[in-house]
Structure 1
Amino acid sequence: MRVVCAVVLLFEAIVIGLFIPVAISLEGMEPATAASLWGGMAAVALVLSGLQKRTWAHYAAWALQAAFLFTSFLVSGAMLIAVVFVSLWVTGVVMGRRTDEMKAAHAARAEAEAAASGDGGGEGSATTASPRQTR
């Protein structure tokens, strides 16, 4: 899950950074205001992308998604882009959790099969012969 979230944040940082010239040229926003608002958000997204292994960074990224959604009201047409990225974030979290659960279930099943198949660590239970090895 954390890898998918990090990738979404990385691409989101690029898009947030591209809001700066759009806000300046289309909305007539002051360059310092646009750069501090979306430039700061883009920098935070980059930092949080690298820190997704930490739980607090994951929750901070949720706050960043909310900030991205709310600031998209300031630039016309940005709401659609913000909704797309927030949707990607939510999808990444949901699908990532499902994938993590499937990996954990598979590992538990493999461990249970290994424990049930033999004496739990003898010579024969360490590896099983594949079809290639029996030929």
Structure 2
Amino acid sequence: MAKLTKAQREWRPGMPKKRRSTKVMFASTVLLLESFVALFGTLAVFGLRRGEFPPLLVFGVGIGLSLVLALTCAVLTKPWGVALGWILQLLLVLTGFIEPTMFIVGGLFAITWWYGIRTGIRIDRESAERDREQQAWDAAHPEGQSN
């Protein structure tokens, strides 16, 4: 028998489906894209600066950053998740000291992160208001009652 999640155990017929956060979806998308950028940036640093840094250090830091970026998606619903995302934005920009192109790439991703968080919060707020208005309308107009 498959193990049920908490949401599956608590579900009852007629319960409205919980809306997913647009902010979390946008933030996760940006973080996953940055994870790939960190991975490919690691390969670029390894190839372009072969004699400057030990390969184990390059791959350890690069793959570690890539994993942290990807795994941060799992904690974005926590109060500190978005703050961690901001720290990672700064860290990605600071990788420009190793590969100068990353100042531009990291800066563009930081702007994308800011826009995704800002727009996601606005969309989530509008969706919550729309849900409240729908509930009020449903309460004022029960099923089966004609006007």
TM-score tier (shorter)? 0.7 to 0.9
Distance 2:145 2:54 in 1: 68
User: Partner of 2:70 in structure 1?
Assistant: 46
Q: Give the structure with the higher percent helix.
A: 1
Structure 1, residues 59-110: CA drift from partner, whole Å, max 9, x if none? 2121111111112221031211111211111111011001001101111222
- 2:135 aligned with 1:126, yes or no? no
User: Partner of 2:123 in structure 1?
Assistant: 99
- Give unmatched runs, 5+ long, in structure 1: 119-124, 130-135
Aligned pair count reads 122
Alpha-carbon shift at residue 54 of structure 1 (Å)? 2.1
User: Partner of 1:86 in structure 2?
Assistant: 110
Match of 1:16 among 17, 23, 38: 38
* Kept in 1: contact 2:93–2:105 (CA 8 A): no
Q: Which has the larger radius of gyration?
A: 1
Q: Percent identity?
A: 20
* Kept in 1: contact 2:92–2:102 (CA 8 A): no
Normalised by the length of structure 2, the TM-score is 0.74
Distance 1:101 1:73 in 2: 38
RMSD in angstroms over aligned alpha carbons? 1.9
* Kept in 2: contact 1:3–1:52 (CA 8 A): no
- Give unmatched runs, 5+ long, in structure 2: 1-22
